[in-house]
Amino acid sequence: MPEGRSRTLLWILIGGGAFFLFVLAVFSLVYLTLHAGTTDAAGFGSFGDRIGVVDLDGVILSPQPVVGQLKKFGDDSSIKAIILHVNSPGGGVAASEEIYREVKRLRDEKKKRVVVSIETVGASGAYYVASASNKIYADHGSIVGSIGVIAQWVNYGDLLKWAKLKDVVLKTGEFKDTGNPARDLTPVEQAYMQSLINNMYGQFVQAVADGRGLKVENVKAIADGKVWTGEQALSMKLIDEVGDFEAAVADTAKTVGIKGEPTLVRPEKDRRTVLDLLLGDVSQYLPTREKMLEQQVGFYFLWK
């Protein structure tokens, strides 16, 4: 090989190696920068003066990741209390109930103090969850309450008739296609659906009564789906104190014996990069028949 060509090849290899190291350094720097604020969640930082913070944000469609985050903080002896930061109108009945049960377990079995701080909205299923905590804070103008159950769907039967389409259903029992959006409910089906809703409503009322130390009849008297401001909710004993998140932190720290400024610990977030999307499993982001079926009839502790 000619000497000039060998020298050119050598410089190409050196240049390529340097570029690779540069790119590696940039990616490492970006990674460390993104994770710089999560060291406390991984178990570092001050020991014994830590308060875990879990966000319950948006419509509750699944108990995860909230239940998992609560369990992790509940099992960590260095976490002296947990603040559930709520900004949610509620959501699915079963999902809300699972989070409620975990909060109640932490409070009653693990003896871990759980405090709820309601930001803009803490209604319906989100309030169901909050009722299991040791103490509830809300701002003066926060939306609180909406104790009730709703099932709602669109009846597109007339649209099918207009398009000259027919809905064909084969079933094994009278109630198997109850809630079919292509037709009206029969009187018997309506009574059946209402009985389910009434049962869930009773569970909601009982949970609030147990959690807030109120009589069932007193909760029923206000459990008509209405919402109130934080200021109104205080006089109704639906919350314990009017105050923002900082007030909840300060009071919680004092209650659990933390002196000085507590360290707030938040769960690590699952960050996804462009490379994750290109090389990883993206099925969760794509619509499937199962996800489409989830849009059918459901029961919700939801404020609309």
Contacts of 93 (CB under 8 A, 6+ apart): 125, 149, 200, 299, 300, 301
State yes or no: is 171 an active-site residue.
Answer: no
What whole-number distance in Å separates Cα of residue 153 and Cα of residue 294?
Answer: 12
Which residue in 62, 161, 171, 176 is the catalytic one?
Answer: 176
The reply to whether 124 belongs to the active site is yes
- Which one of 88, 124, 131, 142 is the catalytic residue? 124
Tell me how crowded residue 68 is: count the other CB atoms within 10 A of its CB: 13
CB 208 within 8 A of CB 214: yes
| Calpha distance 7→3 (Å, rounded) | 6
User: Which residues are marked as active site?
Assistant: 124, 176
